[in-house]
């Protein structure tokens, strides 16, 4: 992987760039739709391409359990398996293991966990996480990390960080060996942890910067903390990272969080929130979010968003979409998910254009002044 910074905004740390990846170039900042199980729920790969995405996220933990990495290896990789000829980033499964705290035991050697699918027991090491992602043929793979929970004590946070640092060294060795042995072209990203302790974050950022990984992710945020603390920790952590490597903040998707991240120089982000909310009746517009299932939409024949140019807003009314939702038609989830992903992609494209023109802060201010902040969701990270 090679990363090129194209333009820095003069008024803040926002920037545009290009990720040169095995399955094509990706312009940054970039939002990645989440396809946990090798699919973005309710959408085809043709839909995702039509919206304009060149990079999606899938999850190693889930694909390891079902259908299993050997099946995907027989299919000649995840790209072929899911008929997607563009780039894929795979999360190592560290966050899923974090969220399944009752079903796992973490040691410095690795993590024992019980499958949420069938109760079977598994042992995942940083080396195994790398090898699985090599079999998936991930364009970007993430190191296995240990995410400590919001409100954790300093002792807990320091223990988790020490394990994450040890795992990083082992992951780098496994990745470099795979690149030589298996002619693997994908790259590895390290992950900054340290909970909400500034000195631990600083230590972690330094280790990641010196690890030699082509990119660096910021983990352990958007896990229940107040938004003000998220903004503060994101800004201070990003400032510690090298400017010549892509920066990825994991698990954010609302306009407020995305625009704040871009302002501080973040290049990549992902979240399931937009597609999950779509399936549950909530859609995003330039005037905020609202619930399509409300009775007031029953006879509203206007589009979801009059300012949106997506095919859903050009062709279908709020009344029709509400009808589909109420009758539990599959088409509803397809159309609402398409719209919400189109919305976030357009927001990021417009942000990139504003950076190129040196007016990002103006764009952010104008967008958020129109967007109904009181209706915005928290952007908390979760999984499909």
Beta bridge partners of 5: 17
Q: Using DSSP, state whether 105 is helix, strand or coil.
A: strand
Q: Which two tokens stand for residue 49?
A: 């391409």
Selected catalytic residue, list 47, 91, 139, 145: 91
For the stretch 17-32, pLDDT in tens is 999 999 999 999 999 9
Q: Which two tokens stand for residue 55?
A: 């990079």
Q: Which residue from 52, 35, 41 is spatially nearest to 348, judged by alpha carbons?
A: 52
pLDDT surpassing 80 at residue 140: yes
pLDDT score at 382: 41
DSSP state of 114: E
Residue 375 bears catalytic tag: no
Residue 270 bears catalytic tag: yes
CA-to-CA dists, residue 220 to 52, 111, 327, angstroms: 29, 18, 39
> β-pairing, 282-285 with 288-291?
antiparallel
Mean pLDDT of the chain: 94
pLDDT score at 98: 76
pLDDT surpassing 50 at residue 261: yes
pLDDT score at 9: 97
CA-to-CA dists, residue 19 to 1, 176, 270, angstroms: 7, 20, 16
pLDDT surpassing 60 at residue 40: yes
For the stretch 330-374, pLDDT in tens is 999 999 999 999 999 999 999 999 999 999 999 999 999 999 654
Q: Using DSSP, state whether 309 is helix, strand or coil.
A: coil
Q: Which helix (H) or strand (E) holds 336?
A: helix 330-356
pLDDT score at 380: 36
Burial class (CB in 10 A: 0-12, 13-18, 19+), 5: middle
Entry pTM: 0.95
Determine contact, residues 344/31, Cβ cutoff 8 Å: yes
Determine contact, residues 126/171, Cβ cutoff 8 Å: yes
For the stretch 57-115, pLDDT in tens is 999 999 999 999 999 999 999 999 999 999 999 999 888 777 777 778 999 999 999 99
What does the chain come to in residues?
384
Selected catalytic residue, list 9, 145, 270, 305: 270
Pick from 226-240, 250-264, 298-312, 367-381: least confident? 367-381
């Amino acid at each position: 992987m090679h990363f090129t910074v194209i333009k820095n905004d003069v008024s803040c740390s926002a920037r545009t760039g290009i990720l040169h990846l095995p399955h094509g170039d990706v312009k940054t900042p970039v939002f990645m739709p989440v396809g946990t199980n090798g699919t973005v729920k309710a959408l085809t790969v043709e839909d995702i391409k039509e919206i304009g995405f060149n990079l999606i996220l899938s999850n190693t933990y889930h694909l390891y359990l079902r259908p299993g990495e050997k099946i995907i290896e027989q299919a000649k990789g995840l790209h072929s398996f899911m008929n997607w000829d563009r780039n894929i980033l795979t999360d190592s499964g560290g966050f899923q293991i974090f969220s399944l705290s009752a079903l796992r035991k973490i040691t410095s050697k690795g993590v024992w966990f019980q499958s949420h699918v069938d109760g079977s027991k598994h042992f995942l090491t940083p080396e195994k996480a790398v090898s699985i992602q090599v079999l998936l043929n991930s364009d970007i793979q993430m190191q296995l990390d240990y995410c400590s929970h919001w409100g954790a004590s300093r002792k807990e946070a320091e223990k988790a960080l020490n394990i994450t640092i040890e795992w990083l060294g082992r992951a780098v060795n496994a990745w470099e060996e795979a690149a030589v042995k298996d002619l693997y072209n994908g790259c590895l990203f390290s992950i900054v942890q340290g909970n909400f302790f500034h000195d631990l974050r600083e230590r972690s950022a330094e280790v990641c910067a010196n690890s030699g990984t082509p990119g660096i992710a910021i983990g352990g945020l958007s896990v229940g903390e107040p938004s003000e603390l998220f903004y503060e920790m994101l800004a201070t952590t990003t400032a510690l990272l090298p400017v010549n490597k892509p920066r990825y903040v994991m698990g954010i998707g609302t306009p407020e969080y995305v625009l704040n991240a871009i302002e501080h120089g973040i290049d990549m982000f992902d979240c399931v929130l937009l597609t999950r909310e779509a399936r549950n009746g909530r859609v995003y517009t330039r005037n905020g979010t609202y619930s399509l299932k409300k009775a007031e939409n029953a006879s509203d024949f206007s589009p979801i968003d009059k300012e949106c140019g997506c095919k859903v807003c050009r062709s279908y009314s709020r009344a029709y979409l509400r009808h589909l939702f109420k009758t539990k038609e599959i088409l509803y989830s397809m159309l609402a998910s398409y719209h919400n992903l189109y919305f976030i992609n357009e927001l990021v494209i417009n942000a990139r254009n504003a950076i190129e023109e040196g007016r990002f802060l103006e764009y952010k201010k104008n967008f958020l002044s129109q967007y109904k902040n009181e209706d915005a969701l928290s952007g908390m990270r979760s999984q499909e």
